[in-house]
Amino acid sequence: MFKDTIKMVEVTRSGFTESIHHGTAVLINSNGEILKEWGNSNILIYPRSALKPIQSLNLYKDGVAEALNLSDKLIALTTASHHAETIHQEMVDNWLKRMNLNENHLSCGPAWPWNEKDQFEAYSKYKTKRKIFHNCSGKHCGHLAVCQYKNLPIKNYQNKEHPIQKDLIQLIEDLSKYKIKNVGVDGCTLPNPLMPLKKFAFATAQLADYIKLNEHSAMAKKIFDSCVKFPEITGGSKSINSILTKLSNEKVFFKNGAEGVFIAIIPEQKSALAVKIADGANRAAEVTIAGLISELEIINSDQIEKIKKRPIKNSTGEIIGSMKWIG
């Protein structure tokens, strides 16, 4: 993988380079034209949670969202890698109650909330991890809701042979014009396809040019609008994808994925930007997406500058280095 990458992020300490993160990125439009490429975007990746906008489209296409009477907030929650802040916990819990289900029906595993304060509160109250705290629990609620609506089995909805997952792979193939040969298992237990970075970016770019999606266009627009309207639901108050989305003034939706994946959906350019960090470092993916967005002049903000170059501090809070975009 490293031969197809370029240096993207440098970490310094006390005046010397301590670490270098390599990666690949591509900006592609809905026609499949590569507008800019960093490294070789033919590398195979698992999109991980950056796939969630497409997963949400698969769940809610064909009028399902309207039939379920889902609010914009619940659509955003379906697309979230949330930090299990109070708002996320309450939304997941209430959604399960609305379906007359409980967290044991979720196929994702138990977890702690993301932020330290929420972790302490969760431990004080429950003394154990919970499935509703899992960052993908909103997406899993969406799966349960659709299973109920379509009268599909709830048990094993995460299995790649389940009708919802078969539909997902078909949708990805239709959007990407790429035949999926290998399907892995994501951290939350749902299927995740192995595919070239540029093909994943191309599939995502279709959501940026939703008019081309014909019968799916209204839902694709609804997903984008919901996520940029409620960015903190899709991540959290300290989530970089939420912060970047908010900085875009509802013009770009940013979504992170595990193992150094990040995407930006950019309707004004009918394009998508996708990033993969070779060593899987999420911190480097955050810096890289901010650096690329700044370089491409998609968002101009002092906050972007602070994300693409961050201070490295010791345990007393003293700044002793930096982590910065160098691509």
Each residue's pLDDT tens digit, 251-268: 999 999 999 999 999 999
**Domain residue spans of the chain:** 2-66+159-325
pTM of the model: 0.96
Separation between Cα atoms, residue 243 and residue 219, nearest integer Å = 24
Looking at residue 256, its pLDDT comes to: 98
Structure tokens at 30: 């809905």
What is the band of 301 on the pLDDT scale with cuts at 50, 70, 90? confident
Structure tokens at 53: 């906008």
Q: What is the mean pLDDT of residues 296-315?
A: 92
Looking at residue 217, its pLDDT comes to: 96
Looking at residue 1, its pLDDT comes to: 60
**Type of residue found at 310:** R
Instruction: Check if the beta carbon of residue 289 is closer than 8 Å to that of residue 299.
Output: no
Cβ atoms within 10 Å of 3's Cβ, excluding its own: 9
In angstroms, how far apart are the furthest CA atoms of the chain? 61
163-176 and 197-208 are packed helices; what angle lies between their axes, rounded to 10 degrees?
90
Which CATH fold would you assign to the domain 2-66+159-325?
Beta-lactamase (3.40.710)
Looking at residue 41, its pLDDT comes to: 97
Each residue's pLDDT tens digit, 18-61: 999 999 999 999 999 999 999 999 999 999 999 999 999 999 99
Total residues found in the chain within this entry: 327
Instruction: Check if the beta carbon of residue 305 is closer than 8 Å to that of residue 322.
Output: no
263 backbone dihedrals φ, ψ, rounded to 5°: -130, 160
Quick one: which H or E segment has residue 59? helix 52-60
Beta strands in 61-163 (DSSP E): none
Each residue's pLDDT tens digit, 114-132: 999 999 999 999 999 999 9
Task: List alpha helices for 151-269, DSSP H.
Answer: 163-176, 197-208, 217-229, 240-247
Looking at residue 327, its pLDDT comes to: 76
